[in-house]
Structure 1
Amino acid sequence: MVEAAQQPKRRKRIAMVHPKFPPSFWSFGFIKEIGGFKTVMPPLGLATLAALTPDEYDVVIVDENVEDIDFEINADLIVLSSMAIQEERMFEVADEFRRRGYFVCMGGPICNVLPGRCRPHCDVLFEGEGEYTWKQFLTEWEKGEHADNYVQEEKVDLRDTPPPRIDLLQTSAYRVGCIQTTRGCPFNCEFCDIIVTYGRKVRAKPIENVIKELQAWADAGVDFVTIADDNLVGDRVYAKKMLKAVGDWNRARRYPLAFYVEMSVDAARDVEFLELIRHANVVETFLGIESPRSEQLKETKKFQNAATPLLDAVKIIQSYGVVIAAGMIVGFDNDDVGIFEDQYTFLQMAGIPIAMLGILQAIPRTPLYERIEKAGRLRSAAQGNNTLSVTNIEPLKMTYEELVTGYRNLFVRSYTLDAIGERWLNNVKQWGSKRDVPPFPGKKPEDPNPADEPNRKWIQKPLGRPRIHLIFATLLILKYYFAGGKEKRNFALKMMWGTLKLQPAAFMQTMNYLAYFIHLREYAEKVVARDEKFNYVFDDKNLTAESLGEDGHINMVKNERSKKTKINVNDAYDGAEVTADIAADLEAVQAR
């Protein structure tokens, strides 16, 4: 007898789901139509997990920020990953899938700091990095012997991390591409959960792997990439080698990519590093400055900032043609009601156009959380979005109400049109000393060695969209400002005319940021000033944000200290030595 042909084994299907973000500072949700994107960044973690999945599985990535979730999807396994800010939606999605009988796995940053909160919403929970535990789970799941919790104790060797499966993403839906070259940070900032998850020893990917990932994003049509390292200069030796290789690759291909990075402010001391940033075509960076007061920086163990003249550092980095976005925090133990005026003054003097102003949060498992809990000063759950006016820390030198009111005033005041315009033009002023603006993708440099040319006058185009969309986007930007009343119209004219006078080659960057400022202003007025609608929290405790009035609006009133005290440029930031030319500019700003 002829044996019956054996049926091929059915391929199992895994659906990796990224929940929708709520309104946030970084979502740029108010300008999606202008920008021609659906969301800003792709889910790099899920794309990496997909690459780690053996070939015998079919994998799909569903990003709810791009498309609706099909709760009847053909899948044997649902995998959810999210950051803290997505917590509420992640739990809703997980619960709905489980209600329909799906097997649900859950991982990501929120699971690393609050596993107990996540555990009831999934069948299997992953804590820590997933390169090793994911494969272990799949092997055990196939045998019906899987655990319900996987914890990665040892840190992962990034040589074992494959390039992410960006072929599973709708790349045109994102504002930027994303890669990660290192994990970990050598510093010990008290409030930061990065060292809890990734440790203080910096681990790096092989540089040849980094280049492969960049090539994949360029091939996908993306021309702006975020390097999502928590601190690009955590391992400075590696960073310099990597930036040199990236710059060589970029130049040889006529600059297909520009980059956004995150780094510590002490990078300003390293001229070689800054030159390599210019070589690689890094055009934007996030700096965790946190506070203009050194006492607060020492309090939170951010000694690298306390030892750095902050104003000088900002100006030096800006002089290399890099736009700075800064993280600023209020609510440290040594903050009093005068901190809000000091923060505002620092930002205006420094010319930092984008400042993520937040209230200090004690994230579980961090040294700050342990200290505040031991002192009996935990008042409620921590927020996943620290740009909302709530905190789980009882302040010491002001009341909770003073902290919330001062923060909201500071945020909205910082994103008035006058404040934005002053900061942007002060930023543009600085570009002339090292390079004016970076090369833009697709532009062939006219000089033979752009890495050594200090005064390149190339314009960075708005990134990542077809040229026809750029025309459409420009029209929408102009419509917003010129049809929005006298104040908006005058602001746009001031920005454009000021740029043409100071740095004509930067005109298109100014147009880019005019779009960003639409989102930030709308976010300040519609979310921060009335954020009691967005109270999603980590734990089961109830949290009620105090109202600032029946209509939710705030009063733009300076505190008494700001009326009586004028900050001296040379003394304001604890003795930071400010060069004479910078000091003159800062005094002029202060006098206005």
Structure 2
Amino acid sequence: MLPPEWSKRLVDVNVTRLKDEDLLWADYAFISSMVIQRTSAQQIIRRCKEANLKVVAGGPLFTSEHEQFEHVDHFVLNEAELTLPPFLEDLNNNCARRIYTTSQFADIQETPTPLWELADLRQYASMSIQYSRGCPYHCEFCNVTSLFGRRPRTKTAEQIIAELDSFYRMGWRGPVFFVDDNLIGSKKNLKEELLPALITWQKEHVPIPFNTEASINLADDDDLMRMMSEAGFDAVFIGIETPDTDGLAECNKKQNKNRNLIEDVRRIQRAGLQVQAGFIVGFDSDTPSIFQRQIDFIQKSGIVSAMIGLLQAPAGTKLYERLKQEGRLLGQMSGDNVDGTTNIIPTMDMDTFQEGYKNILRYIYSPENYYQRIKTFFREYKMPKVKAQFEFSHILALFRVIYHIGIMGNERTQFWKLLLWTSFHRRELLSLSVTLAIYGHHFRKISELHVL
């Protein structure tokens, strides 16, 4: 969306370093950030100002907290399709204001295809595509609706195909993550337009696996799950949050109420979609029993990748406003809901709260319980229709896995038992078992480093 005559350089500090020569090259630095990247954003802004570089900032972090960044020259907030054009016009006329904001939502069918040629695709394990913005649900702790609204807006199928083609032409054959906060927010458009187009696209190209995020009511629509599988989706992240009905009512997670959540998870798994899920502890209605109940649910459901966090209150949410009125906020949230921190004062004793959280992580990511959960998942999972393409780098990765996990790892016994079990019972899932072993090794390292 920047002027085509501008020279542009993309520096993604998740995968590379911002060099001094980049700052010397530029006239302006445009910075976008999530809340979890707050500290990094502050460091980058400081470096830019030391280099006498003008800074323009946007994205979720700055939309929520722009008052905290006094050294930013211009803020282009909310959705850039609406706020970037007037900024660029004013900049061209030498009268740019400091803040550009809007309460409106953009027509994303006018959003152009990203300039993927600016990115070094070799640095990534997955590419990202956004099909829709907005979510029909309004969970108390979630800021998606305050950022993007409750009416899902979708791109056209033609736009998505153009985006897929853009990095496919650059040689990309790996997974693609549809980053929508709820892909099935507009089922009609999804079933009638996007999924048929993706199914056709997969048949005409070397197939690429997709994954995404959705609400649990996906389990109610067998036809939708079948179409998603045919289109190449093999995994979906779902906000389970809690098995406790009082907790679901408290946070207005109405789409999860009055359901057999474990059976819903199994139905989705049987459709060829691996369920990854988010869980939260710390609702006002939670008692100390919630920690064991979360463990039991996760183990029984076979959700291998379970993201458990302490309840946090993002700015702009109903939860934030409620706890602010009650005097129960502890400042800014970290943006990382799995680092063992919170910005709220819970009703539960804080020591009990934090120790119970640590016990969940110790249990579900201990090698014995983690590998048992993989087998529970494999007993239900239907083999996906689209597989990632084999690459030489996978061989190198396998040797590293065998060394770090199968030989040197504390979980080596469970690792070899899983491979043996999978070879006899679900041989077609052998590569997935190795992948999940890598995930588990990573989860344990991160938990031990930051929480336990």
Which interval holds the TM-score relative to the shorter structure? over 0.9
Percent of aligned pairs sharing the same letter: 30
Matched, 1:484 2:408: yes
Match of 1:436 among 360, 375, 383: 383
Q: Normalised by the size of structure 2, how large is the TM-score? A: 0.96
What residue number does 2:117 align with?
167
Q: How does 1:29-108 map to 2 (within 5 A)?
A: 52-71=1-20, 72-108=23-59
Determine the structure 1 residue equivalent to 2:430: 507
- How many Å separate the matches in 2 of 1:221 and 1:73? 31
DSSP 3-state at the match of 1:394: coil
Question: What does the per-residue CA deviation read over 1:541-573, in whole Å, with 9 as the maximum and x for residues that have no partner?
Answer: xxxxxxxxxxxxxxxxxxxxxxxxxxxxxxxxx
Instruction: Tell me the CA shift for residue 230 of structure 1.
Output: 0.5
Shift of 1:441: 4.2
Q: 2:226 maps to what in 1?
A: 275
**CA apart distance, 1:254:** 4.2
Letter of the aligned partner of 2:424 in structure 1?
Answer: K
Q: C-alpha distance in 2, partners of 1:274/1:87?
A: 37
Residue 494 of structure 1 and its aligned partner are, at CA, apart by: 1.7
Shift, 1:412, TM fit: 2.4
How many residue pairs get aligned? The number is 448
Report SS of the residue matched to 2:201.
Answer: helix
Query: Is this contact kept in 2: 1:436–1:503, CA < 8 A?
Result: no
Mapped partners of 1:139, 1:307: distance in 2? 52
Shift of 1:248: 1.6
For the 8 Å contact 1:130–1:152, the answer to whether it is kept is no
Quick one: distance in 2 between partners of 1:528 and 1:295?
27
Question: Partner of 1:314 in structure 2?
Answer: 265
Residue 332, structure 1, aligned to residue 313, structure 2: no
State which drifts further: 297-306 or 106-115: 106-115
1:207 partnered with 2:154: no
- Matching of residues 74-223 of structure 1 within 5 Å: 74-118=25-69, 120-222=70-172, 223=174
Choose from 472, 479, 490 the match for 2:396: 472
CA deviation vs aligned residue, 1:14-34 (integer Å, no higher than 9, x gap): xxxxxxxxxxxxxxxxxxxxx
Give the aligned partner of residue 274 of structure 2: 323
Show CA shifts across 1:456-490 (max 9, x none). Answer: xxxxx5xxxxx2211111000011123226x5221
- Structure 1 contact 297–306 (Cα < 8 Å) conserved: yes
Task: Give the C-alpha shift of residue 152 in structure 1.
Answer: 2.4
Distance 2:254 2:225 in 1: 21
The offset of 1:121, in angstroms, is 2.9
Q: Separation in 2 of the partners of 1:361 and 1:113?
A: 15
The separation in 2 between residues aligned to 1:73 and 1:259, in whole angstroms, is 39
Deviation of the 1:405 alpha carbon? 1.2
Q: Which runs of 5+ in 2 are unaligned?
A: none
Q: 1:67 offset after TM fit, Å? A: 2.1
Whole-Å Cα distance in 2 between the matches of residues 318 and 139 of structure 1? 50
SS of residue paired to 2:324: helix
CA contact (8 A) 1:231 1:264 kept: yes
Change (3 A) 1:469 1:385: same
Tell me the secondary structure at the aligned position of residue 223 of structure 2. helix
Local SS of the residue matching 2:353: helix
Query: Following superposition of structure 1 onto structure 2, how do residues 241-252 of structure 1 map, counting pairs within 5 Å?
Result: 241-252=193-204
Deviation of 1:92 after TM superposition, in Å, equals 1.2
Amino acid paired to 2:200: D
Give the letter aligned to residue 249 of structure 1.
Answer: W
| Residue identity opposite 2:73 in structure 1 | D
Matched, 1:516 2:442: no
Question: What displacement does 1:521 show?
Answer: 1.3
Contact kept, 8 Å, 1:274 with 1:317, in 2: the verdict is: yes
Q: 1:330–1:407: 8 Å Cα contact kept in structure 2?
A: yes
Q: Aligned partner of 1:501: which letter?
A: F
What one-letter code is carried by the residue in structure 2 that aligns with 1:503? R
- Specify the SS of the correspondent of 1:412: helix
Which of the pair is proportionally richer in helix?
A: 2
Q: Runs of 5+ in structure 1 lacking a partner?
A: 1-51, 443-460, 462-466, 530-592
Letter aligned with residue 403 of structure 1: F
Q: Structure 1 residue runs of 4+, over 3 Å off?
A: none
Q: Is the 8 A contact 1:254 1:441 kept in 2?
A: no
1:291 aligns with 2:214: no
8 Å CA contact 1:190–1:368 kept in 2: the answer is yes
Range that drifts further, 160-169 or 237-246: 237-246
Q: More displaced, 160-169 or 109-118? A: 109-118
Contact 1:380 1:391 in 2 (8 A): no
Q: 1:404 aligns with which of 326, 351, 354?
A: 354
Greater gyration radius: 1
Partner of 1:351 in structure 2?
Answer: 302
Give the number of the structure with larger relative contact order, counting CA–CA contacts within 8 Å between residues 6 or more apart. Answer: 1
The match for 2:420 is 497
Q: Is the 8 A contact 2:279 2:307 kept in 1?
A: yes
CA RMSD of aligned residues (A): 1.3
In 2 relative to 1, CA 499–186 (structure 1 residues): closer, same or farther, beyond 3 Å? same
